[in-house]
Amino acid sequence: MELARNVLLILHLAGMAGILISILASRTKLSSGISHSALLTLIAGIGLVGIRYSLNSADPAKWELIDNAKISVKLIFVIAILAITYVNKKKEILKPWVISVIAGLTIGNILISYV
């Protein structure tokens, strides 16, 4: 079970890194890597939460309970990233705030993880 958690954690972190790297590649048009990385982050995050609940029930002394408020905020951030990318994916000219908001939400998501 811990191996599956570690694999999902690596995929989750790779998704976050993929969003940030794809933002650097996006100048005038959004890269499709942003939406793919956000989907990877979302799916791996949901898997991490599910595995963490089962690890906690198996050994509560080793695995803390999940902070549901933190997970909810992270979920809202990833859904917002997905919504912004899907709305602006086909546009030829991006509004100046789009990349900044996606970067801010991604960095905020990372900071919430470590607080």
- pTM higher than 0.75 for the full model? yes
pLDDT digits (tens, 9 = 90+) for 56-67: 888 888 888 888
Mean of per-residue pLDDT scores for the chain: 91
DSSP string, 80-91: HHHHHHHHHSS-
Above 80 in pLDDT, residue 91?
yes
Q: What residue spans define the domains of the chain?
A: 2-114
Q: Residue 112: CB partners within 8 Å, gap ≥ 6? A: 70, 73, 74, 77
pLDDT at 18: 94
pLDDT at 105: 95
pLDDT at 28: 77
Asked if 75 and 7 touch (Cβ cutoff 8 Å), the reply is: no
Asked if 31 and 14 touch (Cβ cutoff 8 Å), the reply is: no
pLDDT digits (tens, 9 = 90+) for 11-53: 999 999 999 999 988 777 888 889 999 999 999 999 999 999 9
